[in-house]
Amino acid sequence: MRGTKTISVTSGKGGVGKSTIIANLALQLSEMDQKVLILDGDIGMANMDIMFGSRAPFNIIDVLNEKKSLDEIIHPINPRIDLISGGSGITDFYKMSTFQKRSLLDIIEQIQYKYDYLLVDTAPGLNEHVFYLNAAVDQAILVLTPEPASFTDAYALLKVMYNNFHLKRITILCNQVRDYQEGIHLFHKFADVVDQFLNVGLNLIGVIPHDQNMRKLNFQQRLVVNQNPDSCVAEAFRGISFNLLDDSLIPNTSQGLKLFWSQLVGLA
């Protein structure tokens, strides 16, 4: 039985579209008959449920305070998409007792084969919990945009992951570019810098062009793969989703949910 593929979407700075990317990828994967669990780990900005026009009543903090079990806070936001709202509770994983951690893993044991994918929305920036989330997944997807600060902050995050967590490979997604050619240029520009200073392999999983309607759709709690399925953006999300389905593009995909949580809480 195949384990759950665990994938983070991360960035060195905010405003690069991580949450929008995860929401649309989750929806596209669900339309490909994949069962998806989203972990919203963006501290202080956990809003993935709102993007689906829903509201999660509980979050990770309720588990840490022993008010709810993990399975009780899993919130369905689509017939094939469930959500765990993390928020500020992500930073408290390391304060859990050994008993609490093992209790958490007992629940994971029960649900680990229920999902095809775990998509993790990390907070932006160089925070310790972001590093641990990215280190725990099978594959981290680093989002780049043409904005200079996005480029430099993405490199800073990658450098820490390489030096402190021995990251050897990362996937790049270029977002908010004019067209495919600009995305390819941005990827190669970043790869040239990385090749000079870090021994990290990069692969490009996709390019998402800028779309004037995206901000409006997000405000209306509507996702582009549903609302404008014939658009270039929706086509880009379909292409990325097909790449995620290709096992050869994501190394070490057999770790699954239990090892992800074990690593995250420090029991692996």
Mean pLDDT of the residues in the chain:
84
pLDDT for the residue numbered 253: 45
What's the token pair of residue 243? 């790449």
Q: Which of 91, 152, 149 is nearest to 123 (CA)?
A: 91
What confidence tier does 76 reach under pLDDT thresholds 50, 70, 90?
very high
Please give the pLDDT value at position 104.
Answer: 64
Tell me which of 19-33, 43-57, 156-170 is least confident.
43-57
Where in the sequence is the domain holding 18, given as residue range(s)? 5-265
**In this predicted structure, what is the pLDDT of residue 2?**
63
Higher pLDDT, 63 or 109: 63
Comparing C-alpha atoms, which of 248, 171, 264, 237 is closest to residue 256?
A: 264
Over range 249-263, report the average pLDDT: 63
Q: Is the pLDDT of residue 165 over 70?
A: yes
- Strand order, beta sheet including 169-177: 75-78, 81-85, 36-41, 117-122, 5-10, 139-144, 169-177, 201-209
pLDDT score, position 206: 96
| Structural domains in the chain (count) | 1
| Per-residue confidence band for 93, with pLDDT thresholds at 50, 70 and 90 | low
Q: What is the pLDDT of residue 90?
A: 60
pLDDT at position 219 over 80:
no
User: Which pLDDT does position 62 carry in this prediction?
Assistant: 82
Task: Determine the average pLDDT of the residues in 164-187.
Answer: 94
CATH number of 226's domain:
3.40.50.300
Is the distance from CB of 121 to CB of 38 less than 8 angstroms?
yes
Short-list 152, 158, 84, CA closest to 114: 84
